[in-house]
Structure 1
Amino acid sequence: MDRKTRPSFAPADAGPGADSATDATTGAGIPARRRGRGWWVLAGLLLVIALLVVGARLTWSWIDPLGDQTIDRSGPALLRSMQNLSRFEAATGEFQVIVDLEKDAKFLPDAIKGSRTLFVGAGSVDAYVEFSGLPKDALTVSPDRTAVTVRLPHAELEKPNLDNKRSYVFAQERGIFDRISDLLSSSPQNQQELYVLAERKIGDAAAAGDLRSRADQNTKAMLEGMLKSLGFTTVTIKYTGEP
């Protein structure tokens, strides 16, 4: 009897569902590993972006042409700024005076020889505080640069400025000889003396009034506003003679 080749069969314990079960187990493991690697890639990418942003900000702060500039306003720098102002015209006074000028001749009545003139003089006087000559110790700044003390000279008066358009002869009386002399003279009566006297009276009126005091107050207000705008919170202005 011829021996026939028998077909080989799979082992009995390898059932029909063995291959499919193996494939299912392999397919479930692959996505889990991919998700783990994805989180690490995302974290690394975020770290790189953060480093790039920080580096860009630092680089721009070094090369920024429009960046902020800090200016030292304390001590000598501030004193030089005040000295460069030279003087501060702090107040102006308007004045009007009456000049009563009388000239008499000895042993002759006024109707024969003599004159009397009433002159109205109008003008102004400026009061100023001098900054150009301030000494080095005229300005003191606190260590924390929040308080400053300024020592100033008192205000001074400019020379009176007579307004020719508003100054005039109000009334005049002359004797016979004076009238004849004016008619024969090639030049009318010289009024220079009247203008000089009017300027002197205006200067005296300005000195006797409160013009310099108002100039001191205006200068103080100006400096307080300027220095506080520079960041000082406490500003003290002292004039010569004040403790």
Structure 2
Amino acid sequence: MTTPIRRVSKRMPGWAKAVSAVVLVLVVFFAGIRLSVLPGLKDLFGTETHDRSGPALLESIQDISRYDAASGNFQVVVDLEKDAKFLPDAIRGTRTLYVGAGTVDAYVDLGKVGKNDVTVNDDRTSAILRLPHAQLGKAALDADRSYAVSKQRGFLDRLGDLFSDNPNSEQAVQKLAVRHITDAAKESELTTRAETNTTNMLEGLLGSLGFKKVEVSYGT
């Protein structure tokens, strides 16, 4: 009588599956790095970008009554570092060196000028105007002139970038750059320059209309 042969199925233990998954991730990670440094291979596995965005929709229109009288260009180097407690930087932590370039406008809101703020003599040769002080607009970061110089990330952070919807996000350093540019604009002479330019503009405009004397002052 022949004894039937039993086939024994060898199942991989759970811990072995976990180790295999980590090894697979590491292989993919370091393979991506190698492809980026070997000439020719990067283009072979390159990606294509397709813009399938819909048309932009106009949501609202606002009338602008302010006079943009001066604009300042600023540049700041942001050095942002995030560390994890009880873990070395090689394991968990990020450090980004970012050059942020942007502009800040200074303007005078002519819409706040009332009837009592303008005095004209009877023969319309003299005018006295009282305007509100110049203000600073919001800092606008220029994406074409802003860039990351270097990015250092720990192993866990690089591993998380593989599964993140927005890897290597620069949102934090961009916000910090805008904050520093705004602070620099406040310490500059932008508002003073804006008031001077506004005065020159009004003197030239009213002078072309026949006014021989124009006085412009600024208040709260």
TM-score (norm 1): 0.61
SS in 2 for 1:165: coil
The answer to whether the 8 Å contact 1:90/1:127 transfers is: yes
Aligned: 1:123 with 2:87: no
The answer to whether the 8 Å contact 2:112/2:132 transfers is: no
The answer to whether the 8 Å contact 2:120/2:127 transfers is: yes
Q: 1:89 matched to which residue of 2? A: 68
The answer to whether the 8 Å contact 2:81/2:96 transfers is: yes
Q: 1:205 matched to which residue of 2? A: 184
SS in 2 for 1:92: strand
Q: Deviations over 1:193-217 (max 9, x none)?
A: 2221111211111111111111000
The answer to whether the 8 Å contact 1:147/1:234 transfers is: yes
Against the structure 1 CA distance between its residues 85 and 182, is the aligned structure 2 distance closer, same or farther, given a 3 Å change threshold? closer
Q: 1:100 matched to which residue of 2? A: 79
Q: Deviations over 1:84-126 (max 9, x none)?
A: 9822110111111111111011112222211111111111111
After superposition, residues 149-228 of structure 1 pair within 5 angstroms as 149-228=128-207
Moved over 6 A (4+): none
Instruction: Indicate the structure (1 or 2) with the bigger Cα radius of gyration.
Output: 1
Alpha-carbon distance in 2 for matches of 1:87, 1:169: 35
Question: For structure 1, which runs of at least 5 residues remain unmatched after alignment?
Answer: 1-83
CA RMSD of aligned residues (A): 1.8
Question: For structure 2, which runs of at least 5 residues remain unmatched after alignment?
Answer: 1-62
The one-letter code of the counterpart of 1:92 is: S
Q: 1:146 matched to which residue of 2? A: 125
Alpha-carbon distance in 2 for matches of 1:166, 1:122: 6
The answer to whether the 8 Å contact 1:85/1:131 transfers is: no
Against the structure 1 CA distance between its residues 117 and 229, is the aligned structure 2 distance closer, same or farther, given a 3 Å change threshold? same
Q: Deviations over 1:134-171 (max 9, x none)?
A: 11111111233221110001111111111111111111
The one-letter code of the counterpart of 1:213 is: T
The one-letter code of the counterpart of 2:153 is: R
TM-score (norm 2): 0.67
Alpha-carbon distance in 1 for matches of 2:191, 2:166: 41
SS in 2 for 1:132: helix
Q: 1:137 matched to which residue of 2? A: 116
Against the structure 1 CA distance between its residues 187 and 149, is the aligned structure 2 distance closer, same or farther, given a 3 Å change threshold? closer
The one-letter code of the counterpart of 2:68 is: E
Which structure shows the bigger proportion of residues in helix conformation?
A: 1
User: What's the offset of the Cα at 1:127?
Assistant: 1.1
Segment drifting more, 174-183 vs 116-125: 174-183
